[in-house]
Amino acid sequence: MSLQNITLISFGRFEQDFLDRLVKNVSHEFNITVRVKEGHIDLSDYYDSVRRQYNGNDLIKEVDAKYSIDSVKTIGIFNVDLFIPILTYIFGQAYLNGRTGIASLYRLSNERYGMIADNEILLNRAIKEVIHELGHTLGLIHCHAPTCVMRSSTYVEDIDQKNYNLCQKCRNELINLLG
């Protein structure tokens, strides 16, 4: 398998500068051109009125069906509160060794936790989250290295502890996976 393309699909409103910087950093980590496209999904179909959240399982299926193409890794970027039935929330999810992942900025912003909004911090977290989900689509599993971007993060503070980068072990694993 060779990585030919990465596409980020934005669902909802995002500042162009934010998306440009996101693309630049993701592109740098995987050393490949990353494209951005705008996507359109009627999110109300995925809204769970009891939980007042959006169903991440159904959304990833939809992105996979409508926006993903073989040999391209696609990450859908949202700005809504995602959940999966068993968990109270998720930052994002991906098909392991598949072609699709999703990530949401909703729980990555400071103001969600009663702090002053900070676009730099939000961007940092978004970059890590997108690279993390892309890593899963490429076949990487969670890593125990404290600063590796593939380390599992269940709290937003966990994301802040990580770097943007894959650790050497994950990098070697990725080279193996890509053949």
Partner 1 sequence: MTRKISILVVDDEESVRDSLYNWFKEDGYRVECAENAKIALSILESESFDIILADIKMPGMDGLEMLRRIKALKKESIIIVMTAFATVDTAVQALKDGAFDYVTKPFDPDDLSHLVRNATKQISLIEENEVLKVKVATLENIEDLIGVSDVMQKVLKQVESVAQSNSSVIITGESGTGKELIARAIHANSSRKYFPLVSVHCGALTESLLESELFGHEKGAFTGAVYNRKGRFEMADSGTIFLDEIATISPKMQIELLRVLETKSFIRVGGNKEISSDFRVICATNKDLKSMVEDGSFREDLYYRLNVVNIHVPPLRERQGDIPLLVDYFIKKYCMSMNKPPVTIDPSALQRLEEFKFPGNIRELENMIERAIVIGNGKKIFLKDLPIEKSFIESPYESLDDNEKSHIAQILNKYNWNISRSAKALKVDRVTLYNKIKKFDLKPLEK
List the catalytic residues. 133
* Candidate residues 40, 70, 85, 179; the one interacting with partner 1 per rule CB under 8 A: 85
Q: Judged by CB under 8 A, does residue 63 bind partner 1?
A: no
- Which of 18, 30, 89, 164 binds partner 1 (CB under 8 A)? It is 89
Burial class for 153, CB neighbours closer than 10 Å (0-12, 13-18, 19+): buried
Q: How far is the CB of 166 from partner 1 (least distance, A)?
A: 15
Structure tokens that stand for 83 in this block: 């959940």
For residue 13, the SS3 value is coil
Letter for the amino acid at 121? I
Among 152, 161, 168, 172, binds partner 1 (CB under 8 A): 152
| Shortest reach from residue 51's CB to partner 1, in Å | 8
| Residue range at the interface with partner 1 (CB under 8 A); choices 4-12, 15-23, 25-33, 90-98 | 90-98
According to the binding rule CB under 8 A, does residue 18 interact with partner 1? no
* Sign of the dihedral defined by the CA atoms of residues 130, 133, 68, 63, in that order: negative
Q: What is the DSSP string of 79-122?
A: -S-EEETTEEEESEEE-TTSSEEEEESGGGSGGGGTS---HHHH
Contact with partner 1 (CB under 8 A): which of 10, 25, 68, 93?
Answer: 93
Q: Which of 47, 95, 106, 164 binds partner 1 (CB under 8 A)?
A: 95
Nearest to 60 by CA among 104, 13, 14, 6: 104
| Binding-site ranges for partner 1 (CB under 8 A) | 55, 57, 83-90, 93-96, 136, 141-142, 152, 154-155
